[in-house]
Amino acid sequence: MGRLHDLMENCLELRGVSEHTKKEYLLRVKVFAKHFRKSPDQLSSEEVKAFLVFLMREQNAAPATVSIYYYALKFFYDIVLDRKEVMKKVPRPKRTRRRLPVVLDKDEIQKILEAVTNKKYRAMLALMYSCGLRVGELVRLKVTDIDSKNKVIRVSNGKGNKDRNTILSANALTILRDYWRAYKPGDILFPTRGKSNEALNERSVQRVFNEAKRKAGIKKDVTVHSLRHSFATHLLDAGTSLYHIQLLLGHSSIKTTMIYLHVSTKQLAQIVSPYDQ
């Protein structure tokens, strides 16, 4: 794409989207252009519709994947090229059914952490669970974000470019100090091996979690993000208010946090069926 790639990258930068979203949008538009072997500014709504149908019929792409392509192309034509008429003629793909998050119980969390012998990796997973961090937030943490005196972690530039504070567990702090004594990181709390100023790749954290899950014998369909879901669910089970959970997670709307009401089995168990009354 050349010039258009740079132009789109600049527009995404100005919008302040996350690094992950930036990479995804640039990649999707590149794949779209490569499919037709033309520069995307030479293509119209007809090609966009044909491409999305191709993804669904020929590639059997998941609805979520098709949606990513749709919004990447919408950004490209609406914002980068200022050609809003292109995407106005393209129906938005049907939204996927919202699934309830799968959570780990406390025993499973403990087994996963005990399965990790590397002090750095154990500290990463312990922080994700005990503080409710997203993986992108974890890898961007700096040493100065850790306020051990007040038991607080500052999360800078979280989802939606928001800053927030979250709790720092005493147990996680012990694990973190053990890691600190062994590795003595510089500015970035969890840097790439041999590169003290380069943040760890998010996929590396997922691989660490997958290996720990395998060693712990956990069969649930969970990802590293399930640690954050487990954090919220366990807080709710313990009686923490939805409002405070919302603040700790950095949700813009309480409606997003309310999904954990459906996940918490303890909350459901407290409801008495009218048949039992």
pLDDT of residue 199: 85
What end-to-end distance do the CA atoms of the chain give, in Å?
Answer: 67
Q: Residue 33 pLDDT more than 90?
A: yes
pLDDT of residue 127: 95
Per CATH, 3-88 and 106-269 having the same topology is answered: no
Contact present, 119 and 183 (Cβ < 8 Å): yes
Based on the residue annotation, tell me whether 225 is a catalytic residue of this protein.
yes
Q: Which CATH architecture has domain 3-88?
A: Orthogonal Bundle (1.10)
Q: Which of 5, 22, 111, 225 is catalytic?
A: 225
Based on the residue annotation, tell me whether 251 is a catalytic residue of this protein.
yes
pLDDT of residue 99: 79
Q: Which of 120, 122, 140, 228 is catalytic?
A: 228
Based on the residue annotation, tell me whether 260 is a catalytic residue of this protein.
yes
Q: Which of 159, 164, 183, 215 is catalytic?
A: 159
Domain ranges of the chain: 3-88, 106-269
Based on the residue annotation, tell me whether 70 is a catalytic residue of this protein.
no
Based on the residue annotation, tell me whether 35 is a catalytic residue of this protein.
no
Q: Residue 96 pLDDT more than 70?
A: no
pTM: 0.75
Q: Which CATH architecture has domain 106-269?
A: Orthogonal Bundle (1.10)
Q: Which of 69, 121, 179, 260 is catalytic?
A: 260
pLDDT digits (tens, 9 = 90+) for 135-194: 999 999 999 999 999 999 999 876 767 889 999 999 999 999 999 999 999 899 999 887
pLDDT of residue 27: 94
Q: Which of 28, 74, 120, 134 is catalytic?
A: 134
Based on the residue annotation, tell me whether 228 is a catalytic residue of this protein.
yes
pLDDT of residue 275: 76
CA-to-CA dists, residue 73 to 19, 28, 52, 62, 63, angstroms:
17, 8, 10, 17, 15
17-54: buried (b, 16+ CB within 10 Å) or exposed (e) per residue?
bbeebbebbbebbbebbeeeeeebeebebebbeebbee
Average pLDDT, the chain: 90
Nearest CA among 123, 223, 225, 126 for reference residue 183: 123
pLDDT digits (tens, 9 = 90+) for 201-235: 888 999 999 999 999 999 999 999 999 999 999 99
pLDDT of residue 100: 85
Confidence of residue 80 (pLDDT cuts 50, 70, 90): very high
